Amino acid sequence: MPKELAQKLADIVSDLPEAIVQSVVSELTASGVNPPTFQRLLSSDVRSRVIETLRYAHRAGFDSRSVALAMYSAFFAHETSRTTQSVELVWTGPSPPHTHLRRTDQALVEIIDGAQSELWVVSFAAYRVPTVMDSLQRALARGVLVSLVLESSEQSEGRLSADQIYQLRAALNHAISVYVWPTEKRRVNNGQRGMLHAKCALADSTHLLVSSANLTEAAMQLNIELGALINSCRHAKCVQGQLRWLVESGTLKRL
């Protein structure tokens, strides 16, 4: 089946409840395209997408039964992906005695320790946090490709020292890739340039931590910080693709 057709079907079923998908699949299996039935089951927008997709499938040589099977398979793949996703909140700062929130440093170490092939860490500031450094060392020992995206001292408005990146790389035996956002690649508005403000960690396009916390001991132990630990291939791959594009397009520069 052509990739474009598979994507069309996946997009359609992601917007529909199971009962509607089953009805459409039954109709396609029994009698093919039936506009009156589709009009009863589907909104005008979804109905037009289904009919256009069926016509595309028929031109590609697939009958209605084949499309029905592919549609049902796409629906269950989507449901499986959705139900296997999980989100946990992570927190640094004062907490009640029996909080259910995960600690930021624990969540970050979990992401790093879980990486098997590729790890991205994005942060405005990065200093040597012992538990995180140990975890990064273990990742490197496993052969994980570790990439850090950090703010440059030139754009930090004096908040970062010029040697923070050097010290971090030296502590990890220069085995990591470090990227920065060059000045000439940043947008300017009223004389002010954009800054790297995102903070996240990504392991193997499956696990993603998004947080307000920088890679510093203060952020891990002292500040009030909030984030989310997301176990989702869909969202992790989206961020992975964004980061890879920033590198491939030259928006980020490797030091």
Checking if the pLDDT of 3 tops 90, the result is no
Q: Which two tokens stand for residue 29?
A: 């299996």
What's the rounded mean pLDDT across residues 220-246?
93
Per-residue pLDDT band for 20 (boundaries 50, 70, 90) equals: confident
Strands 86-92 and 225-231: antiparallel
Domains and CATH numbers, the chain: 3-83 (no CATH), 86-254 (3.30.870.10)
pLDDT, the chain, mean: 85
Cα→Cα distances 169→47, 137, 248, Å:
55, 11, 22
Q: Strands, DSSP E only, in the chain? A: 86-92, 102-103, 118-123, 145-150, 177-180, 188-189, 192-193, 200-203, 207-211, 225-231, 253-254
**Residue 203 banded pLDDT, cuts 50, 70, 90:** very high
Which residue in this structure is represented by tokens 């496993």?
Answer: 142
Q: List Cα–Cα distances, 28 to 61, 65, 128, 154, in angstroms.
A: 15, 6, 60, 61
Judged by average pLDDT, the poorest of 69-73, 139-143, 146-150, 213-217 is 69-73
Cβ count within 10 A of residue 55: 11
N-term to C-term CA, the chain:
43
pLDDT reported for residue 161: 59
Predicted confidence at residue 181, as pLDDT, reads: 92
CB contact at 8 A, 155 and 196: yes
Alpha-carbon radius of gyration of the chain: 24
Give residue-wise pLDDT tens across range 31-75. Answer: 665 556 667 777 777 778 778 888 888 888 888 888 888 888 888
Q: Which amino acid is at 19?
A: A
Determine which of 25-34, 131-140, 210-219 has the lowest per-residue pLDDT on average. 25-34
Q: Rounded to whole angstroms, how far apart are CA atoms 130 and 149?
A: 19
Contact in structure between 20 and 38 (CB atoms under 8 Å): no
Q: How far apart are CA 255 and CA 247, in angstroms?
A: 12
14, pLDDT greater than 80 = no
pLDDT digits (tens, 9 = 90+) for 84-142: 678 899 999 998 887 888 899 999 999 999 999 999 999 988 877 889 999 999 999 99
pLDDT value at 244 more than 90: yes
Which of the pair, 223 or 82, is modelled with greater confidence?
223
pTM over 0.75: no
User: What's the confidence (pLDDT) of residue 50?
Assistant: 78
Are the CB atoms for 167 and 176 separated by under 8 Å?
A: no
